[in-house]
Amino acid sequence: MRTLRATLCATVLGVVITACGSDGSGRSGDSPVTGAGTPRPADCQGEERAPDAVRTTWQADVDGDGAPDQVTYRPAEADACAASLSTTVDGEAFVMSLAGVDLDPDSVRVLRLHGTDRELLVGRGGFHPRGGFVLHVLGFDGDALGEVVVDGAPVVGFVATDGGAAPATATCTDTGGLATWTATVAKPPGVLLAWDVRRTTYRLRGNVAERTGTHLVLKDAAEPILRERRPELFDPNGWFTNCAATPTP
């Protein structure tokens, strides 16, 4: 049984994650949510804060118990309440401030990890005017909602869409983890542009991704052939295609 706590705060990549639960007296914690320089008065967590018309909800098994959990997105408001994600697990409410994340709720997908009931959310934020976005992988680790990170940074991070980026993508592994695929220009260069493609796998420990290995999977792959064999490496919408699904409201 999870120990209930009044407020749990953890900072991940400058995003403040707050879990607001029971203090043992049957009432919710009274502490306001604070984060990323954005005032978070206590009433930012109230049900009256965002009517159903402006909320977005998804079903995802974030705690991996085999049953779907409701995850609610609330947009930022003019009264300085930052956007947030929230869910309730075993009667305890958890809230993640999205201050500074600029998450696009229409981009959110559920990652159905292989070999486990645990599910993650993935969505776009941090849009760059010259083309690109940060791909955020979000999950529940038993104590808080937060970003899945490797070495303190988003496991995927920034995805450039201005045409100048090297081919890249990410997938789910067969063992409940994640994998990133990255390409570097093959050396020595030939007449045609060619790429060496490496796959790095990660084991998930809560919301921490631990590297388990990097392997060369394609060597000196000419770009036309690589585009034919692995088109997702060139597609900004090709991330996690082997496990992403449109969430159920």
Q: In this predicted model, what pLDDT tens digit does every residue of 108-156 receive, in sequence order? A: 999 999 999 999 999 999 888 888 999 999 999 999 999 999 999 999 9
In angstroms, rounded to a whole number, what is the distance separating the alpha carbons of residues 152 and 43?
31
Contact of 20 with 33, CB cutoff 8 Å? yes
Cis link prior to 188 (omega < 30° from 0)? Answer: yes
Q: Is residue 2 part of a domain?
A: no
State how far the Cα of 154 lies from the Cα of 149, in Å rounded to an integer: 4
Give the per-residue pLDDT at 82: 80
Tokens standing for residue 228: 């034919």
The residue type at 12: V
Confidence label for 202 from pLDDT (cuts 50, 70 and 90) = very high
Considering its fold, how many domains does the chain have in total?
1
Residue keyed to tokens 């392997």: 215
Quick one: what percent of the chain has pLDDT higher than 90? 61
Residue 165 domain flag = yes
Contact 232, 180 (CB under 8 A): no
Question: What whole-number distance in Å separates Cα of residue 120 and Cα of residue 150?
Answer: 15
pLDDT mean over 213-234 = 95
The verdict on residue 191 lying in a domain is: yes
1 in any annotated domain: no
Long-range contacts of 36-40 (CB under 8 A, 24+ apart): 36/82, 36/97, 36/99, 36/100, 37/99, 38/80, 38/82, 38/97, 38/99, 38/100, 39/80, 40/80, 40/81, 40/82, 40/97
| Per-residue model confidence (pLDDT) at position 39 | 32
Instruction: Determine the average pLDDT of the residues in 43-72.
Output: 78
Return the DSSP state at 242. Answer: T
Alpha-carbon torsion, ordered 94, 7, 209, 155, to 10 deg = 70
Which residue is it, tokens 């930012």? 44
The edge-to-edge listing of strands for the beta sheet with 168-172 is 153-154, 149-150, 208-222, 194-205, 178-185, 168-172
List the structure tokens of 163. Answer: 């045409």
Residue 52 lies in a domain: yes
Rg over CA atoms, the chain: 20
Tell me the residue range of the domain where 122 lies.
7-245
Residue 77 lies in a domain: yes
Residue whose structure tokens are 């206590």: 42
90 lies in some domain: yes
Contact 31, 6 (CB under 8 A): yes
| pLDDT confidence of residue 57 | 93
Statement: residue 49 has pLDDT above 90: no
